[in-house]
Amino acid sequence: MPPNLAQVLNTVAHEIRTPLAVSQGYLKLYLDGRLTNADDQRRAFQQTREALGTLATLCNDMSKVSALAETAAPALTARVSAREFVAHVQKAQEVEGTEWSGDGGVASIAAQSATDLAHAVAIVAKAAFDEQREAPHAVRVAGGSELVMLAGTLDAIPALEAGPGAADAREVDFTRGGKGLRLIWAAFVLQLHRVDTWTHQGHRASVGFRFPLVQA
């Protein structure tokens, strides 16, 4: 389930706090005359510029999340082959260097925007990978009556195979600190495309995705 309004607002407040404090801190130092060295001034203004850039990105992401949150469930009339969709995900920067197995086969899934959906999957997978950065990461793809992607550390993936209905399955946390609003945006994209997500006993270094197949 995508985050509710309270969770979205809490995430926004958390993500804004640091860049805002950085900007205010450096400007205060400058106005107080405590940045007398030219190199210190240059460094302070560069840090302030980067912090303001982060705030600008958050504003843009808030607009994207708001647009999705207000969108009624689309009819999803567009189709993309599972194999083509998997290739879209594989190309995402977030999952570079990941070991892949399986290609999804020739069946189709519904995707109004295969690009947005693939990006959402990659963002959520990357959030799982970041929980154990040094471990080898992989994505296992399986076809059948549904398209399933299991992403995470090699030792965590097998526990996902029982699916979202397993006794040990847990909901994915889409409100992790330090991720901006990207995870929240991804959660709404996945919901609009009727994609199930799950992890195992709160093991945040792995995540499963289940996409319903449709008639081509």
Q: What is the pLDDT of residues 91-123, one digit of tens each?
A: 999 999 999 998 888 889 988 788 999 999 999
Q: Which domain holds residue 30?
A: 5-69
pLDDT reported for residue 196: 94
Least confident residue range of 28-42, 64-78, 104-118, 147-161: 64-78
Q: Are residues 208 and 123 in the same domain?
A: yes
Tell whether 96 is covered by a domain: yes
Over the chain, what is the mean pLDDT? 87
The residues, any chain, with a CB within 8 Å of residue 71's CB and separated by 6 or more, are 192
Residues 119 and 12 in one domain: no
Q: In the chain, how many domains are there?
A: 2
Point out the domain boundary residue: 50, 69, 88.
69
With left for phi above 0 and alpha for psi between -120 and 50, is residue 109 left, alpha or beta?
beta
93 and 55 within one domain: no
Assess whether 202 and 100 both reside in one domain. Answer: yes
Q: Residue 15 sits in a domain of what CATH number?
A: 1.10.287
Please say which residue of 43, 69, 95 terminates a domain: 69
Exposed e or buried b for every residue in 110-146, given b needs 16+ CB within 10 A?
bbeebebbbbbbbbbbbbbbebbeeeebbbbbebeeb
Interval 165-216: pLDDT, tens: 888 888 888 887 677 788 999 999 999 889 999 998 767 789 999 998 886 5
Please check whether residue 199 lies inside any domain of the structure.
yes
Has residue 74 been placed in a domain? Answer: no
Output the domain CATH number for residue 120: 3.30.565.10
Based on the domain organization, do 201 and 119 belong to the same domain?
Answer: yes
Calculate the CA 184 to chain-centre distance.
7
Tell me, what's the pLDDT at 1?
Answer: 63
Contact 180, 60 (CB under 8 A): no
Q: Which 3 state secondary structure label does DSSP give 135? A: coil
Confidence at residue 63, expressed as pLDDT on a 0 to 100 scale = 83
Give the confidence band of 70 by pLDDT, cuts at 50, 70, 90: low
- The answer on 208 and 165 residing in a single domain is yes
Is the pLDDT reported for residue 74 higher than 70? no
What pLDDT band is residue 48 in, cutting at 50, 70 and 90?
Answer: very high
pTM of the model: 0.82
